[in-house]
């Protein structure tokens, strides 16, 4: 199952109502291995009581090179499987929420052929166009679907430090923008993607441990109970890591849920390796960094008092890869990032599934070795295991980044929905 340096291990991703038997062996500093201990058996409970939220990110830049539009959510059959969509991203600048890409959001004209409902946009004064109008039409087809506007992200998180200096003013600006009369009916709430409070991402934040909690409290006070208030948060489960840098436990009372970004743990941002899966569910022997796995993050957040039902497990609809690799097993050296369609070291699942099919699994996710390239990504089979984990842990559901990485038929979304029920 695993190798540990201590005397405990939490086994995860198990099937419900199933008997499991365990034994242990001891290894000393010289590498001598003992015989197996006596065995102990335990039977898991019936299916976990987790929620079935299924949230996907729609990125505004997807309408350009990727040619992915709101209509694709409908034609792929995915709209009926989703419970929530996060629209990414709004900007955070000058201590305020601000529009990101105005043209994509409400300026682009959609023809009848491109439109969700087969009706073209108009140029009438005051008429809404762009992604916002298409989302409005998608919600009309799926009345239970909720849409949140996500602010920040990797590129625009640098503005949160200034926002945290005056949380009330920030919250007021966000409410005014999200509830602008031109698109007030499109959005059901706000999502904050601060990467990372009191820690380093693209830039380093020094606003203090309490800043994130205070910001979320201000947003809840301004938006009130009728709106959804959520946040995408770090999944760094290491001791003294990013989860420990901010008061996620204290902020939990103000949010409907956290999107725990349980991906991007490892990748070609370390160009020489070692190769390792970017979204491991659990630890494994040889993992490059302790605490860099989904279960470690979930258990740490639970330990800080975050209710399991307010945690959504993250799935990446893409792979991360290296080139110059000479071994198929994880842990190999590399010479750099593998080529990708839009960015070196990253590729969509819909491309990788045929270009570099999975050759193995480790830590509850898949990896692929083809030629001299090594990729890791989730498949329908590993997603099924992760959804079992989410249910067994009583999580609120799962989310993914992002819609355009799936196949035209919504293969990964289908696996997530099938696993969540």
Q: Per-domain residue ranges for the chain?
A: 51-316+380-420
The separation between CA 14 and the C-alpha centre of its own chain, rounded to angstroms, equals 22
Selection from 79, 65, 137 nearest residue 403 by Cα: 79
**Stretch 277-297: mean pLDDT, rounded?**
98
pTM value is 0.89
- 273 φψ region: left (φ > 0), alpha (ψ -120 to 50), beta (else): left
* CATH, range 51-316+380-420: 3.20.20.80
For 292-332, the pLDDT digits (tens) are: 999 999 999 999 999 999 999 999 999 999 999 999 999 99
For 60-117, the pLDDT digits (tens) are: 999 999 999 999 999 999 999 999 999 999 999 999 999 999 999 999 999 999 999 9
CB 268 within 8 A of CB 334: yes
- pLDDT above 80: residue 6: no
Residue with structure tokens 């725990």?
260
Q: Is the dihedral of CA 126, 131, 137, 142 positive or negative?
A: negative
Instruction: Tell me the angle at which helices 380-392 and 411-420 cross, rounded to the nearest 10 degrees.
Output: 30
Number of Cβ within a 10 Å radius of residue 414 = 18
The separation between CA 419 and the C-alpha centre of its own chain, rounded to angstroms, equals 17
* Strands in 173-262 per DSSP E: 189-193, 228-233, 257-260
pLDDT bin (cut points 50, 70, 90) of residue 162 is very high
- In sequence order, the 6+-apart residues with CB closer than 8 A to the CB of 381 are 366
- pLDDT above 60: residue 12: no
Alpha-carbon gap, residue 143 to 123, rounded angstroms: 26
Alpha-carbon gap, residue 305 to 284, rounded angstroms: 26
Question: How confident is the model at residue 18, as a pLDDT?
Answer: 74
Q: Which residues are catalytic?
A: 195
**Stretch 368-383: mean pLDDT, rounded?**
98
Least confident of 20-34, 126-140, 196-210: 20-34
């Amino acid at each position: 199952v695993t190798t540990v340096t201590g005397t405990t291990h939490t086994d995860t991703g198990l099937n419900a109502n199933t008997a499991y038997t365990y034994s242990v062996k001891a290894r000393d500093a010289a590498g001598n291995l003992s015989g197996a201990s006596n065995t102990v058996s335990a039977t898991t409970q019936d299916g976990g009581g987790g929620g079935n939220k299924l949230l996907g990110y729609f990125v505004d830049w997807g309408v350009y090179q990727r040619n992915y539009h709101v209509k694709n959510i409908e034609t792929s059959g995915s709209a009926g499987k989703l419970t929530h969509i996060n629209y990414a991203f709004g900007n955070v600048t000058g201590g305020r929420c601000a529009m990101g890409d105005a043209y994509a959001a409400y300026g682009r004209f959609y023809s009848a052929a491109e439109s969700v409902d087969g009706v073209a946009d108009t140029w009438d004064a005051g008429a809404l166009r762009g992604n916002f109008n298409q989302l409005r039409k998608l919600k009309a087809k799926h009345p239970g679907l909720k849409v949140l506007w996500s602010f920040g992200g990797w590129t625009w998180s640098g503005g949160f430090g200034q926002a945290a200096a005056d949380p009330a003013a920030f919250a007021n600006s966000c409410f005014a923008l999200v509830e602008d009369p031109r698109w007030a009916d499109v959005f059901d709430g706000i999502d904050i993607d601060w990467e990372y409070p009191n820690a380093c991402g693209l830039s380093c934040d020094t606003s203090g441990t309490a800043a994130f909690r205070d910001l979320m409290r201000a947003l809840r006070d301004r938006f009130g109970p009728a709106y959804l208030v959520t946040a995408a948060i770090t999944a760094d489960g290491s001791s003294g890591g990013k989860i420990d840098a901010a008061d996620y436990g204290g902020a939990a009372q103000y949010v409907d849920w956290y999107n725990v970004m349980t991906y991007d743990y490892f990748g070609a941002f370390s160009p020489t390796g070692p190769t390792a899966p970017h979204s491991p569910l659990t630890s494994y022997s040889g993992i490059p960094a302790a605490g860099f796995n989904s279960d470690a993050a979930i258990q740490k957040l639970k330990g800080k008092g975050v209710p399991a039902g307010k945690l959504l497990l993250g799935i990446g609809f893409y792979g991360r890869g290296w080139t110059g690799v000479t071994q198929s097993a994880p842990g190999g050296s590399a010479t750099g990032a593998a080529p990708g369609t839009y960015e070196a070291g990253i590729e969509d699942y819909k491309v990788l599934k045929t270009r570099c099919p999975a050759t193995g699994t480790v830590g509850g996710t898949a990896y692929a070795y083809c030629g001299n390239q090594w990729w890791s990504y989730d498949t329908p089979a590993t997603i099924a295991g992760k959804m079992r984990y989410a249910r067994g842990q009583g999580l609120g559901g799962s989310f993914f980044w992002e819609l355009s990485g799936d196949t035209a038929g919504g293969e990964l979304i289908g696996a997530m929905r099938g696993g969540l029920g």
